[in-house]
Structure 1
């Protein structure tokens, strides 16, 4: 008989009084910062574009907590140290890495390797550097949490975005190992798997999110689920039964059928014939 898995709910006293939210200017990241503020947790928001970052920070402060901002490109040299410096002196107990994205799509054998590297740097190198920088302090603190936002794309290969899907697969497996290591020191770790979410970035990309039978989540819903899942690692699939079934299908052993079927669905999502 298997041992029941103990679950936890979000406890501000365990993760506060400060959090850093990387990718916190809009969409899911901003909604997470709002909900942290409502729970009394102040935040350091990190994003590349300064204007939406400043607007979100003001909205966070209006909820009665403090908020610092760092406008930086995560793939630039020194970005990790700049974020670390902005957190100096804070009792920071929660690191949320929400900035990964597919910034370049191309058939790999025809791709620009500099742009391929940028996808790797954003989705693998930067999160690893940030966790390596903040992790020791969390370990010494003896409590806290690390959240890495993942994607259902990481469960199988995709044409024209093979590097992104591979990066997300790497992230999930890495977090499973990190979860094993950090739980010995009172630090919760979870990879939160997102499906299709109606974020500003997805809207700007022009993806058709109204296909029949598609599970589409709203940023606020995802934010609530993220905070509820922090203590329930190593992996949490957002979006309910529909996305969970999708992950189960994508993990099947008949890889040709799985990958080809997902490819057909992706083309429909993009509005392609």
Structure 2
């Protein structure tokens, strides 16, 4: 598949300053797709843009945007301007709070909800609508295995990732008749600066066999046409740490989609 033809000429990567987002930027740029790089910190974005331009001769736009604010979507739309975006990668969303829900002020959780839910939904509404008109494009929602169940220290984080999972599955059924691909890329433990910072804060050693961001980006783009879910490290028909396999979820979503169309119609 020609990624540039299918998902170009521009990609928006939210959370591109490090880790998985940075790896996606390198992988997308290597395919000749221009990049709009978003993150709160501008310095690493600008350095990344220099690297991508030099290595792949593409165009890059950087924008310092706090993705947890209520006006983040408007700021992202302004940064995009009139550029034709064929790929949206929602990678921002790590839990840097690492606390029980009632032990921290609600405003901190509200920021996490804005970033993981409202920013994602708002960007998908804007960019997905344009992709539907053009009848091509792709959306990757980088998720976490936490989406499959809540636990201590992760009540809000798990809840937001569960929203992204169900939202992405619904969006997959809505957009695939128009040639637009949607993938929930569900990750396990991945070797990112954010994860290493969490481990250090908790006094925990770095585990072995962490997923490499470069591998995550490669597999994510490979699996994008085969949504709505890919569980990292598992074959399509293996349940593993998930309640059901990606294939089983796909079949279930298709069945639910048929049932809802019988009620609401197929238009």
State the TM-score bracket (shorter-chain normalisation).
0.7 to 0.9
Counterpart of 1:43 (choices 14, 23, 35) is 35
Are 1:86 and 2:75 an aligned pair?
Answer: no
On the 8 A contact 1:155/1:250 being kept in 2, the answer is no
On the 8 A contact 1:104/1:161 being kept in 2, the answer is no
Counterpart of 1:18 (choices 10, 16, 24) is 10
TM-score w.r.t. the length of structure 2 is: 0.84
Three-state SS of the structure 1 residue aligned to 2:76 is: helix
Instruction: Describe the superposition over 1:44-99 as per-residue Cα deviations: whole angstroms up to 9, x where unpaired.
Output: 00001111111111111112111000111012242212211222222210111000
Quick one: distance in 1 between partners of 2:134 and 2:142? Answer: 23
On the 8 A contact 2:68/2:112 being kept in 1, the answer is no
Quick one: distance in 2 between partners of 1:89 and 1:175? Answer: 25
Shift of 1:244: 5.3
Moved over 3 A (4+): 248-251
On the 8 A contact 1:222/1:239 being kept in 2, the answer is no
Three-state SS of the structure 2 residue aligned to 1:201 is: helix
RCO (CA 8 Å, sep 6+): is it higher in 1 or 2?
1
Shift of 1:238: 1.8
Quick one: distance in 1 between partners of 2:143 and 2:217? Answer: 13
On the 8 A contact 2:86/2:136 being kept in 1, the answer is yes
Shift of 1:105: 2.8
Change (3 A) 1:86 1:173: same
Alignment-derived partner of residue 242 in structure 2: 247
Quick one: distance in 1 between partners of 2:239 and 2:44? Answer: 32
On the 8 A contact 1:190/1:236 being kept in 2, the answer is yes
Question: RMSD value over aligned CA atoms?
Answer: 2.0
Alignment-derived partner of residue 219 in structure 1: 213
Quick one: distance in 2 between partners of 1:244 and 1:217? Answer: 18
Alignment-derived partner of residue 59 in structure 1: 51
Alignment-derived partner of residue 173 in structure 2: 180
Shift of 1:248: 4.1
Three-state SS of the structure 2 residue aligned to 1:196 is: coil
Three-state SS of the structure 1 residue aligned to 2:241 is: helix
Three-state SS of the structure 2 residue aligned to 1:180 is: helix
On the 8 A contact 1:150/1:168 being kept in 2, the answer is yes
Structure 2: which 5+ runs fail to align?
247-267
Give the alignment of 1:78-117 within 5 angstroms: 78-117=71-110
Quick one: distance in 2 between partners of 1:29 and 1:164? Answer: 19
Quick one: distance in 2 between partners of 1:66 and 1:240? Answer: 35
Quick one: distance in 2 between partners of 1:49 and 1:180? Answer: 35
Structure 1: which 5+ runs fail to align?
1-8, 252-273
Are 1:210 and 2:207 an aligned pair?
Answer: yes
Alignment-derived partner of residue 121 in structure 2: 128
Count of equivalent residues: 239
On the 8 A contact 1:10/1:229 being kept in 2, the answer is no
Quick one: distance in 2 between partners of 1:30 and 1:109? Answer: 33
